Amino acid sequence: TQLLEQSPQFLSIQEGENLTVYCNSSSVFSSLQWYRQEPGEGPVLLVTVVTGGEVKKLKRLTFQFGDARKDSSLHITAAQPGDTGLYLCAGEAAGGGADGLTFGKGTHLIIQP
């Protein structure tokens, strides 16, 4: 069973601050995805990283996939109240297909104005 350790599980910071969320595993993933979920809604895909060492940017969000494809990070610069939500990382097992995704426990992020 592949496990994804996501940290921190809860983070409350002031508007304008920077933050990083980590997703770590001892297993190799063929891809890793980051989702954002707002209360009462389903998760929405933010980005997929595939190549070891890959860095993707989405406005103020920077996603990185570890060289060994076992870990990933999400960095938010100058956080805004609109960034508040539950951030989930999910890894696709090597071999892919319809085996499903392994989810981290999520990071509840609150950005205070």
**Contact positions vs other proteins (CB under 8 A):** 6, 30-31, 33, 35, 40-45, 48, 50, 86, 88, 90, 92, 96-98, 100-101, 103-106, 108
DSSP 13-68: EETT--EEEEEE-SS-EEEEEEEEE-TTS--EEEEEE-STT-EEEETTEEEEE-TT
Q: Provide the pairing of β-strand 107-112 with 10-14.
A: parallel
CB of 18 to other proteins, least distance (A): 23
**C-beta of 79 vs 90, nearer to other proteins:** 90
What is the C-alpha to C-alpha distance for residues 111 and 101, in angstroms, rounded to an integer?
A: 28
**C-beta of 40 vs 82, nearer to other proteins:** 40
CB of 50 to other proteins, least distance (A): 6
CB of 75 to other proteins, least distance (A): 20
CB of 97 to other proteins, least distance (A): 7
